[in-house]
Amino acid sequence: MSIELRNIAKKFGDFVAVDNLNLHIETGELVALLGLSGSGKTTLLRIIAGLETPDTGEVLFHGEDASDVSVRERKVGFVFQHYALFRHMTVFENVAFGLRVIPRRARPAEAAIARRVHELLKLVQLDFLADRYPSQLSGGQRQRVALARTLAVEPKVLLLDEPFGALDAKVRQELRRWLRRLHDEIKITSVFVTHDQEEALELANRIVVMNQGRIEQIGSAEEVYHHPANAFVYNFLGNVNLFHGRIENGRVFLGDTAVELENTHAHAHPETGKAVLYVRPHLLEIVMKPNGKQTFPATVKSINPAGPQVKIELVAEWGDMVQVEIDHERYQALHLEPGANVFLRPKEQKLFVYSI
Amino acid sequence: MASNTKRSNVLPGFGLTLGFTLAYLGIVVLIPISTIFFKTFTLTWPQFWAAVASPRTIAAYRLSFSASIAGALVNSVFGFIVAWSLVRYEFPGKSLIDVMVDLPFALPTSVAGITLTAIYASNGWIGRYLAPLGIKVAYTPLGVAVALTFVGLPFVVRTIQPVLEDLDQEYEEAAATLGASRLQTFVLVIAPALIPALLTGFALAFARALGEYGSVVFISGNMPMHTEVVPLLIMSKLEQFDYAGATAIAVVMLTVSFLILLGVNVLQRWSSRRLTA
């Protein structure tokens, strides 16, 4: 079922949670709402579910206005951040809940309910825990029970609020892949909220980057990561170094050093000429000799060789901290030590308007 | 590693606190109560039986227990509703009502008794409208139940309130997204989570009502066989210098109350075990 949001706005007191937002989600898509806390992503998810009423605008399911359709009639599955499993019910009863509350004439027989519950528990690989209570399960297991409970009522749309937020890194990875496979299998239109860019990039067909109640960019992982629409998106998706500088007569000044940069979209502030240069740590190269106007001097502060890349922290000549990531081969060739004076060369960069 | 037979705890002082607890309970609760038993032991069996099984005593037991249970049940229902509205809704004067709930704690019970008698008497504010309907409250067992309901109210409200406050709205939202109606949500999701607290509140209100004396004296009229509660009967035995008879009645009262409270406690523990296991 496709979802269409038209001019949705929602305020809590003076706080604008969602600001006149439009979004279309296709049938069968897996969409991530990505943003910091307070960006309005959870509010938006709750509006889709009908748990929150928008101040203005409408939600359409499959082209039909759902504004007057109550939560229980929307056929929307919602997985809560803290799962909201019913603590006094066993795993089995939790999953069966949605089937047991169906009006008597439409309710499946007890045997059919049991069959369906076991089917779902098998799907989430927890059939052996049917008789346990939620308090006896691990976080990852609870998450999967919550999902099974939601799927039991055969929702047309699946909404997940920070689905992996409360889990540790290892379990999160596994569940992420598992959810991806599950979605490929059952092809249900799904929207999940996350503040974890890695999660969004890995899992979603399309990513909606949100900031202060507005959409900054919508696109595939490839699009938002490699072609960010603006500084916010670039900054939010992955680590970046921020260099504060000026643009004068088409030349970029970082501190007192004029740096010549290629491929930049220089948009400095029209009056002050101030600009912020964003460079990802792996797009900075360390060289031992200056190379004209393409490099700037820096001093090595600390080195962290653990991990697939060597992370090096430096201080630029004008005082900004700089993070650089290089591969191990290059690191060994350079013989770097803390305190060494080196030069940095941006391989690619983006310039955006300094917003103050 | 060598097996550690002595279980070590992060917080020291287990021996000290347990010792203090036992000493304190001994001085404040056990010793006074044991004297009741010792005094009762001065009676022979026939004397004991005559004291506790006389028709007047039996009638008093029946009234005390039934009125206390009735009061606690009424409080369980209406106290629940009061707690619900205090937790779930915002309305003007909410904090005032919140404070009012505690008044039965603070008010001298005799004042409560006199007030209740005044308004429920057949010429009182409420009593005059009930009288034509054939309902008499003051000086009847019903009046006793009303007084016991009054003194027990805060217990139910104050035990349910914090639990209800902790009950996340998410559970209700989850039930709604799964297709449950408001009634189904209440019966299947909210009520089970509150049952342990409700049982505790019931037990407290019941225990408080059993021992209540001050307010009942005024509203009941103290007619033997009709509106005489056990604490009152004990008092009148004492006034006749029948100390052993009074303690005998108290012993039976104490034992039955203890068993009932124990039963509620076991029930409460059983129902909350699943929530916290």
- B-chain CB neighbours of A78 within 8 Å are 173-174, 177
Q: How far apart are the C-alpha atoms of A54 and A43, rounded to whole Å?
A: 9
Chain A nearest C-alpha distance from B181 (Å): 7
List the single best residue of B178, B182, B185 to mutate versus A (max A Cβ within 10 A): B178
* Inter-chain CB proximity A98 and B179 less than 8 Å: yes
* Inter-chain CB proximity A97 and B180 less than 8 Å: yes
* Inter-chain CB proximity A101 and B184 less than 8 Å: yes
Q: Confidence class of residue B134 from pLDDT cuts 50, 70 and 90?
A: confident
Mean pLDDT, rounded, for B73-81: 93
* pLDDT above 80 for A268: no
Task: Please report where in the chains the tokens 């990561």 appear, as a residue.
Answer: A225
pLDDT at A316: 87
Chain B nearest C-alpha distance from A75 (Å): 7
- A-chain CB neighbours of B176 within 8 Å are 51, 70-72
- Taking only the tens place, the pLDDT of each residue in A134-172 is 999 998 899 999 999 999 988 989 999 998 887 888 888
Mean pLDDT, rounded, for A234-245: 84
> Cα–Cα distances in Å, from A60 out to A25, A155, A177, A213?
10, 16, 30, 19
Q: Are strands A189-194 and A30-34 parallel, antiparallel or unpaired?
A: parallel
Sheet holding A3-12, edge to edge: A15-25, A3-12, A56-61, A64-65
Q: How far apart are the C-alpha atoms of A329 and A332, rounded to whole Å?
A: 5
* Inter-chain CB proximity A98 and B178 less than 8 Å: yes
* pLDDT above 50 for A233: yes
pLDDT at A3: 92
Mean pLDDT, rounded, for B156-174: 90
- Residue B268: which of B163, B170, B198 has the closest Cα? B198
Chain A nearest C-alpha distance from B268 (Å): 13
* pLDDT above 80 for A50: yes
Sheet holding A76-79, edge to edge: A76-79, A157-161, A189-194, A30-34, A206-211, A214-219
Strand, helix or coil for residue A177: helix
Q: Are strands A257-259 and A296-304 parallel, antiparallel or unpaired?
A: unpaired
Mean pLDDT, rounded, for A35-64: 91
- Residue A180: which of A165, A155, A163, A196 has the closest Cα? A163
pLDDT at B3: 46
pLDDT at B9: 66
Alpha helices in A57-193 (DSSP H): 91-100, 110-123, 139-152, 169-186
Mean pLDDT, rounded, for B58-72: 93
Tell me whether A88 touches chain B (CB under 8 Å).
yes
pLDDT at B169: 86
Mean pLDDT, rounded, for B111-116: 89
Chain A nearest C-alpha distance from B74 (Å): 26
* pLDDT above 50 for A190: yes
Mean pLDDT, rounded, for B10-23: 86
- A-chain CB neighbours of B168 within 8 Å are 82, 84
Chain B nearest C-alpha distance from A161 (Å): 12
CA-angle at B109, arms to B107 and B115, nearest 5°: 85
**Strand blocks (E) in chain A:** 3-12, 15-25, 30-34, 56-61, 64-65, 76-79, 157-161, 189-194, 206-211, 214-219, 241-248, 251-254, 257-259, 274-279, 284-287, 296-304, 310-316, 321-326, 341-346, 350-353
- Taking only the tens place, the pLDDT of each residue in A286-308 is 888 887 777 888 999 999 999 89
A76 half-sphere exposure, CB direction, 13 A CA radius:
32
pLDDT at B277: 45
Q: How far apart are the C-alpha atoms of A266 and A276, rounded to whole Å?
A: 10
pLDDT at B131: 82
Q: How far apart are the C-alpha atoms of A19 and B210, rounded to whole Å?
A: 60
* Inter-chain CB proximity A88 and B275 less than 8 Å: yes
Task: Please report where in the chains the tokens 């360390």 appear, as a residue.
Answer: A286
* pLDDT above 50 for A182: yes
* pLDDT above 70 for A349: no
Read off φ and ψ for residue A296, nearest 5 degrees.
-135, 150
Please tell me which residue, A228 or A100, carries the higher pLDDT value.
A100
Can you read off the two tokens belonging to residue B13? Answer: 């002082």
Mean pLDDT, rounded, for A111-116: 94
- A-chain CB neighbours of B179 within 8 Å are 72, 98, 101-102, 153
pLDDT at B2: 45
Q: How far apart are the C-alpha atoms of B62 and B229, rounded to whole Å?
A: 8
A159 half-sphere exposure, CB direction, 13 A CA radius:
27
Q: Report chain A's mean pLDDT, rounded to a whole number.
A: 87
* Inter-chain CB proximity A101 and B175 less than 8 Å: yes
Q: Which residue of A has its CA nearest to B195?
A: A88
Q: Confidence class of residue A128 from pLDDT cuts 50, 70 and 90?
A: very high
Q: How far apart are the C-alpha atoms of B118 and B109, rounded to whole Å?
A: 14
Q: How far apart are the C-alpha atoms of B271 and B196, rounded to whole Å?
A: 6
Q: Which of A51, A72, A98 is closest, CB to CB, to B181? A: A72
- Taking only the tens place, the pLDDT of each residue in B221-277 is 888 888 888 998 998 888 998 888 888 999 998 898 889 889 888 888 887 766 654
Amino acid at A88: H
* pLDDT above 60 for A111: yes
End-to-end CA distance of chain B: 30
Q: What percent of chain A has pLDDT over 90?
A: 41
Mean pLDDT, rounded, for B106-110: 87
Q: What percent of chain B has pLDDT over 90?
A: 30
Q: How far apart are the C-alpha atoms of A55 and A71, rounded to whole Å?
A: 17
pLDDT at B1: 42
Q: Which residue of A has its CA nearest to B169?
A: A84
* Inter-chain CB proximity B177 and A49 less than 8 Å: yes
- Taking only the tens place, the pLDDT of each residue in A53-102 is 999 999 999 888 888 888 888 889 999 988 999 988 999 999 999 999 99
Q: How many residues does chain B have?
A: 277
Mean pLDDT, rounded, for B81-99: 90
Amino acid at B139: Y
Q: How far apart are the C-alpha atoms of B27 and B34, rounded to whole Å?
A: 11
* pLDDT above 80 for A331: yes
- Residue A41: which of A219, A161, A220, A169 has the closest Cα? A161
- A-chain CB neighbours of B189 within 8 Å are 86
> Which stretches of chain B sit within 8 Å of chain A by CB?
168, 170-171, 173-181, 184, 188-189, 192-193, 274-277
pLDDT at A29: 92
B224, B230 in Cβ contact below 8 A?
no
B204, B155 in Cβ contact below 8 A?
yes
* Inter-chain CB proximity A78 and B173 less than 8 Å: yes
Q: Confidence class of residue A352 from pLDDT cuts 50, 70 and 90?
A: low
Task: Please report where in the chains the tokens 């930049």 appear, as a residue.
Answer: A264
- A-chain CB neighbours of B178 within 8 Å are 72, 97-98, 101, 149-150, 152-153
Can you read off the two tokens belonging to residue B235? Answer: 């008092």
